[in-house]
Structure 1
Amino acid sequence: MTDEQWSLIEPILPTSDGCRGRPFRNNRRVVEGIVYRYRTGVAWRDVPADFGPWQTIWKRHRRYAGDGTWDKILTTLLARADANGLVDWTASVDSTICRAHQHAPTSRVTQGDLSNYTNLLHEPADHALGRSRGGLGTKIHQLADGHGRPLVLLIGPGQAGDSPMFPILTNALSVPRIGPGRARTRPDAVLGDKAYSSRAIRTHLRSRGIEAVIAEPDDQKRHRLRRGSRGGRPVGFDPEKYKGRNVVERSFATIKQWRGLATRYDKLALTYRAGVVLSAVCTWLRHLTK
């Protein structure tokens, strides 16, 4: 992390002022230790001592995950990027599955309700773990801007569908203005693959004035044609604009370069998602300091 990048996030990080107990160790060294752990995928105990005691690094990350510090930093960077005209509001949506390591699963994995994920700082009952054909896993759901940089990042169980998570993703989007004005909560358009083609999603986007660029599956086309006039008109679809949807796939490739995110080692969904958000923070820091 460069000095310029650190200067953008240092004022947002909590300090030990007014807190009981020992003062914080060097915040920059600890944050870089957290980044090192997720980039390499090592156990917390194996983080090099150059970053400080591993217990301090783990506890600081757990604290920042639980009190929303990482989300606050990401929101602040998004506001700065939007003020500088760096955010492309033609958004893309998709998800990717990350296999859970044997250290991640709890003794009991339940089939959780996606309503548990409406609160970003709430630990769901199933810890965002679900059993699919590949075994236990977690899905990372992402809403990315037109250049593939994360706007919203949520996680859910691996067996859950993409469509039910879509309104939760879009409702979580909120980029404050620097200066007067309300936060921006609506992209100009949303690009999605066939997994997001449903009447409910198209109605949701239409009600909010957002253009839907979502591919329609062949079976839905045949069903609509079979019903004749009762099937309704063909859905609007811009094939040229849809070509830009691949940026979200490239964004997932960037996230999975961090080995601690490509495979989930964390037991808590809260701390694993915080690692995903931290990777997004590093992505925006690179673009804001070019």
Structure 2
Amino acid sequence: MAVMLRDGVISDELWDVLESVMPQDAGRRGRPWNDHRTTLEGIIWRFRTGSPWRDLPETFGPHQSVWQRHRLWSTDGTYVQMLAAVRGQATLDSEEVEAILSIDSTIVRAHQHAAGARRDSVVGDPADDTGGRIELHEFSGGARGAA
């Protein structure tokens, strides 16, 4: 069975804009980076499909390398620079760009424990605290309605 990949989602026109803000190998220790464009395609593939990193097709390179680059770009400001470069070239006004980039909160939901609330910050009845742990449920010891 042939696996169809949707690579090539970054157009040449978009890549011309993004390439100028990508980190360079100059002065960097270690091995040269894999191709930035292929790596970015892999990151896009992973988020588009919702697959685990380890399921990334070999076409995009080792999944560990792609993940490490994503992590680096998330922390070193590369993604921010990419967005700024695209906004700088866009013919759209800022409201149109925000509409394209917005995420619908009816689709993306986080569990209450994902919000970072401390356990002791629950207000009200402590019995209502789901706390993220296994809750104890009372058990009567017999079937309902048994005499």
In the superposition, the TM-score normalised over structure 1's length comes to 0.32
The equivalent of 1:111 in structure 2 is 117
The equivalent of 1:56 in structure 2 is 65
Structure 2 residue corresponding to 1:67, chosen from 63, 67, 76:
76
* In structure 2, C-alpha distance between the alignment counterparts of 1:110 and 1:88, rounded to whole Å: 31
* In structure 2, C-alpha distance between the alignment counterparts of 1:47 and 1:88, rounded to whole Å: 34
* In structure 2, C-alpha distance between the alignment counterparts of 1:65 and 1:87, rounded to whole Å: 25
Structure 2 residue corresponding to 1:99, chosen from 93, 104, 109:
109
1:88/1:59 Cα in 2 relative to 1: closer, same or farther (>3 Å)?
closer
1:39/1:14 Cα in 2 relative to 1: closer, same or farther (>3 Å)?
same
* In structure 1, C-alpha distance between the alignment counterparts of 2:84 and 2:12, rounded to whole Å: 20
Aligned-residue Cα RMSD (Å) equals 3.0
State the identity %. 37
The equivalent of 2:129 in structure 1 is none
* In structure 1, C-alpha distance between the alignment counterparts of 2:41 and 2:51, rounded to whole Å: 14
Structure 2 residue corresponding to 1:29, chosen from 10, 13, 38:
38
In the superposition, the TM-score normalised over structure 2's length comes to 0.61
* In structure 1, C-alpha distance between the alignment counterparts of 2:88 and 2:70, rounded to whole Å: 23
* In structure 2, C-alpha distance between the alignment counterparts of 1:26 and 1:55, rounded to whole Å: 14
Cα deviation for residue 95 of structure 1 reads 5.9
The equivalent of 1:2 in structure 2 is 11
Cα deviation for residue 59 of structure 1 reads 0.2
* In structure 1, C-alpha distance between the alignment counterparts of 2:35 and 2:95, rounded to whole Å: 37
Cα deviation for residue 94 of structure 1 reads 8.6
Cα deviation for residue 76 of structure 1 reads 1.8
* In structure 2, C-alpha distance between the alignment counterparts of 1:87 and 1:64, rounded to whole Å: 26
Cα deviation for residue 110 of structure 1 reads 3.1
Matches within 5 A, 1:1-290: 1-81=10-90, 84=91, 86-87=92-93, 89=95, 96-97=105-106, 98-100=108-110, 110-111=116-117
* In structure 2, C-alpha distance between the alignment counterparts of 1:48 and 1:94, rounded to whole Å: 27
Cα deviation for residue 50 of structure 1 reads 0.5
1:78-121 CA distances to partner (integer Å, 9 max, x unpaired)? 1222xx4x2165877996152359xxx78xx6328xxxxxxxxx
Gap regions ≥5 residues in structure 1: 113-135, 137-290
What amino acid is the match of 1:87? D
Gap regions ≥5 residues in structure 2: 1-9, 119-131, 133-147
Cα deviation for residue 6 of structure 1 reads 1.1
Provide the secondary structure at the position in 1 that maps to 2:24: coil
Provide the secondary structure at the position in 2 that maps to 1:99: coil
Provide the secondary structure at the position in 2 that maps to 1:58: helix
1:18/1:44 Cα in 2 relative to 1: closer, same or farther (>3 Å)?
same
* In structure 1, C-alpha distance between the alignment counterparts of 2:110 and 2:62, rounded to whole Å: 26
- Alpha carbons 2:43, 2:67 under 8 Å: kept: yes
Higher share of residues assigned strand = 1
- Alpha carbons 2:56, 2:63 under 8 Å: kept: yes
